[in-house]
Copies of this chain bind each other. A is one copy, B any other.
């Protein structure tokens, strides 16, 4: 039986909502602590937010991070992490964690996958071994890992698939969610269902209704940002969140440019994750209060100014653009560290400002100002290395 504090069920509170729309400010209380919403979750793929220590992520005021079931099940193995007391202890992160189901990585990374109603078979990218992932196995792995929030095992149909294929994925996603709920035995983990349906509004509505019927403690919107147009993406998100209950948290998976966060929050999303801010940092692209800075640019060679004079992160307090450019051009680990630190500091402040705007009743103006600044700035394709 887990200790008392781990038995506390998840609680979600909405503190303020934009009167003219769906944007809301809230708080998510989890067994390993709480976090304000809306919130961006840094991605700790392999039990590490790349380049940072847990202490640094904590000092950046993050209290909820994501880790990837697919990667951790392959290495070091969820059994290893379970034997060592679970993921929190393994990675020395005392705050809340969300694990995905492994589904998205199978559909985006794995070779030779074979999908049936039972589950998915694929080859390990590490050693080529055949691996089967099912709803039951995904839940078992996530129970070994022990995150505060775990995700249902869903089918993520390709971005350009037919409506028929998308429908098959919706049907399977609902069936698999029921199997996940049946398989779940730990009381201290909140299992979120996932809305699928690609870019088809009728399927999104159907999926949302079917998933909500399962009465999960929270809901995710999956299958977006996978190749559709921005217009299609926002329409699909709009339909999805319209059919999700107001009292439960909503999580838009894999989305994370500043402009996308604003659009998502505006459509009622509470939680986001994306590798973009950390991956872009390692590629030398950072967010600043005046827009995107590409540190590789020769203009920074002798620039003694900080990345962002409006930022108070360690990178901006101590280091010049000239030094950061030199580290990046030399492929030095410290360069990856300092740019990652800054991007996560920037996004933390960005959602903190968004929340304050909602609470203060200034959301529409804040939203419009940020969209005007950011919708022309960041090419999300830059996230692909």
Contact = CB atoms under 8 A, between A and B. Distances in A.
State the oligomeric state as a number of copies: 2
Given A84-B302, A92-B319, A76 B334 contact: no
**For the complex of A and B, 9 pairs with smallest distance between CB atoms:** A51-B333, A76-B326, A48-B334, A46-B330, A92-B318, A48-B332, A333-B333, A84-B322, A84-B304
A91 interface: yes
A187 interface: no
Contacts of A83: 302
Contact of A50 (B50, B85, B320, B334): B334
A337 interface: yes
B80 A302 contact: yes
A326 B47 contact: yes
Contacts of A206: none
Interface string A49-67: 0111111000000000000
Q: How large is the interface on A (under 10, 10 to 19, 20 to 34, 35 or more residues)?
A: 35 or more
A314 to B, nearest CB: 8
Interface string A61-77: 00000000000000110
A288 interface: no
Interface in A336-370: 336-338
Interface string A26-60: 00000000000000000000111011111100000
A274 to B, nearest CB: 19
A329 B46 CA distance: 11
Interface string A133-172: 0000000000000000000000000000000000000000
B301 A76 contact: yes
Nearest to A91: B323
A337 B48 CA distance: 12
A326 B67 CA distance: 14
A383 interface: no
A298 to B, nearest CB: 11
Contacts of A338: 53
A181 interface: no
A44 to B, nearest CB: 10
Given A76-B301, A320-B84, A336-B333, A48 B327 contact: yes
A52 B323 contact: no
19 contacts: A46-B327, A46-B332, A47-B323, A48-B333, A51-B333, A53-B334, A75-B326, A75-B329, A76-B301, A76-B329, A80-B302, A80-B322, A84-B304, A85-B304, A90-B322, A90-B323, A91-B323, A92-B319, A92-B323
